[in-house]
A and B are shown apart, each in its own frame.
Chain A
Amino acid sequence: MKRKNPFDLSFSLLTAAASATVLLLIAGIFIILVKESSLSIEKFGIYKFITAVDWNPVKEIFGAATSIYGTFITTFIAMLIAIPTAIGIAIFVTEAAPNFLKGPIGAAIELLAAIPSIIYGMWGLFTLAPLMSRYIEPALQKTLGDVPVINVLFQGTPMGIDILTSSLILSIMIIPFTASISRDSFNLTPAVVKESAYAMGATKWEVIKNIVLPYSKLGVFGGIALSLGRALGETMAVAFVLGNKHHITASLLDPASTITVTLANEFTEADTDLYLSSLFYLALVLFVLSFVVLAAAKFFLFRAERRHSR
């Protein structure tokens, strides 16, 4: 185009350089993390590091399995709570709510996303954890604790500082992400299609189930994957109430540790090179993990977009 002007050329180069920082940052993070963790990578390898359950700073044996397990289990349970709730919310604000409520409630839910995670964490420690240990967890133990198979999930002392509390806080944090993306996808369903279904006598739920949900499937998947990425990388909200214990446990009332919590607690305090290097290695694992999940999210959302533009 019109790039004869020297100012124009330099301005375009400047903007190009600025946008290239994103590429540089992603490549930079990856390379630096690999470089810093090389000591640990050499010592433990990839497969062994990921599968080893021993995290023992005294003997300088580091395995990531306990932290990875903690990350997955808290994320999984959080998603289990968050997905149905978020989709319910999206249905409510797009279809079920009276018109004057749609806007305010949608906005209120989105405000949940603006509250910083450190406040969730602190609130969790001071308010939620005591409630969990005093009322909710004993009640769960009383009711579900005797059911065979399920009871392994509710063994141990209800302390409030455990996987269940952390997952609950995490779910409250990610509900808004999933809900707002689902809502946006629901809103993309063409009104004509919905109206013709109503005209044929379909109930609201039938319209939602047979028309809106299938139509916005990909967008909802994208929203779920996006909040999955968020949950994997959340630090402060869980750091307060997870209890920092490196082990793999079936009980939801046990403390655990996630990759992020391990980093937050141990990073400035690691005293040997191998220890620090292993922590960088953990950060690398988390980076790759969330990158893959987020890329998948983008893929779904991209496909969803394409479908609507067609």
Chain B
Amino acid sequence: MKLQKRRKIKSFLALSLSTAAALFGLFWLIFILYDVITHGIGALNLSLFLNDPAPPGVEGGGLRNAFVGQLLITFFATLIGVPVGVLGGTFLAEYARGTKIARLISILSDIMVSVPSIVIGTFIYAILVKPTGQFSGWAGAVALAVIIIPVVLRTTENMLSLVPWTLREAAFALGAPYYKVIMQVVYRGAATGIFTGILLSMARVAGETAPLLFTSFNNAFFSTNMNQPVASLTVTIFQYAMGPYEVWHQQAWAASFVIMLFILVITITGRLIIKWRYKK
């Protein structure tokens, strides 16, 4: 009887510890969210979105350039990264399905996903910035695309594999060539999944700072010229938060709030889509 009790107590203690761990994790989440939201909302105002930065001491500056720059860089990164990723994933799941090379590439992609992003920044500096003699929005977009490619590639591979093989056979039986089967049957079947993967990869790169430091650099002015340095929210946050001016800190909080909202909305949407589509 005593032994029984001891075992029960032990079990209770262990489970309490695990509950404590969960609370510890939740505590930080709430702490960070709360902090960013309170500071961020307090610093939000219209001029943040409508004006460009003013030098310290001049009133009424904003971050319009950084918002637009961030969108531009992310947009072009997606434009470069997604087609490559989707096509690459198609190869692994279709033409090379089950082969050794497909396995190797998907393992390497998984590793690529976690390669330190700052290393990618140095790599792009060496191949794009130094030879052209110009920091540029393009270099930033390519750096982010390098991060997007493996993410999208792996999601595509997984999503295509989920499309039942019989569906393809049915299409083959009608005499359709493989590429048509892929485009009209397989892609259609996996569209939601791939789309979600793209969303999540965008959320991932929207918060990246390190690969942009040496590539798209920063710009104090509004510029949509991708051949020139382009401002981004994340690099601006780094600069402003590290800077000594109270106004800068305020704007960094506001920018963090906006970027966090953007990422959380995308991530939650993505997850809801997955749940709704695949967990019925």
Contacts and interface: CB of A to CB of B under 8 A. Distances in A.
A131 to B, nearest CB: 10
A267 B217 CA distance: 12
A235 B210 contact: yes
Contact of B114 (A105, A286, A290): A290
Contact of B241 (A28, A240, A260): A240
Contact of A290 (B8, B17, B115, B121): B115
A239 B206 CA distance: 19
Interface in B60-88: 83-88
A46 interface: no
A290 B117 CA distance: 11
B23 to A, nearest CB: 9
Interface string A225-267: 0100110111110011000000000000000000010011001
A267 B88 contact: no
B149 A25 contact: yes
Contacts of B91: 12, 15-16, 18-19
B177 A7 contact: yes
Interface in A251-310: 260, 263-264, 267-268, 279-280, 283, 286-287, 290-291, 294-295, 298, 302
Contact of A268 (B7, B146, B214): B214
Contacts of B125: 267
B126 A116 contact: no
Contacts of B88: 15, 18-22
A122 interface: yes
Contact of A205 (B10, B112, B208): B10
Nearest to A207: B11
Interface string B78-111: 0000011111111110111000001001011111
B184 interface: no
Interface stretch (A48-56, A59-67, A88-96): A88-96
Interface residues of A, number: 93
Contacts of A119: 32, 36, 207, 237, 256, 259-260
**Chain B interface residue bracket vs A:** 35 or more
A286 B119 CA distance: 8
Interface stretch (B49-57, B187-195, B219-227, B263-271): B263-271
A126 B39 CA distance: 11
Contacts of A19: 87-89, 91-92, 96, 102, 105, 153
B19 A116 contact: no
A96 B19 CA distance: 7
A96 B14 CA distance: 10
B245 interface: no
B32 A118 contact: no
B122 A263 contact: yes
A29 to B, nearest CB: 5
A226 B115 CA distance: 11
B116 A179 contact: no
Interface in A199-222: 203-206, 208-209
A1 B89 CA distance: 19
Nearest to B204: A114
B187 to A, nearest CB: 12
B109 A118 contact: no
A113 to B, nearest CB: 9
A295 B203 CA distance: 25
Contacts of A89: 18, 21-22, 25
Contact of B116 (A12, A93, A233, A240): A233
Contact of B177 (A2, A18, A114, A203): A2
Interface string A63-105: 0000000000000000000001111110111011100000001
Which 10 pairs across A and B sit closest by C-beta, in order of nearness?
Answer: A116-B207, A233-B116, A88-B21, A18-B87, A15-B91, A19-B88, A205-B11, A203-B11, A18-B88, A11-B179
Given A25-B149, A85-B21, A226-B114, 11 more contacts: A15-B88, A18-B83, A19-B91, A111-B264, A115-B32, A117-B207, A123-B35, A176-B25, A233-B118, A235-B116, A260-B116
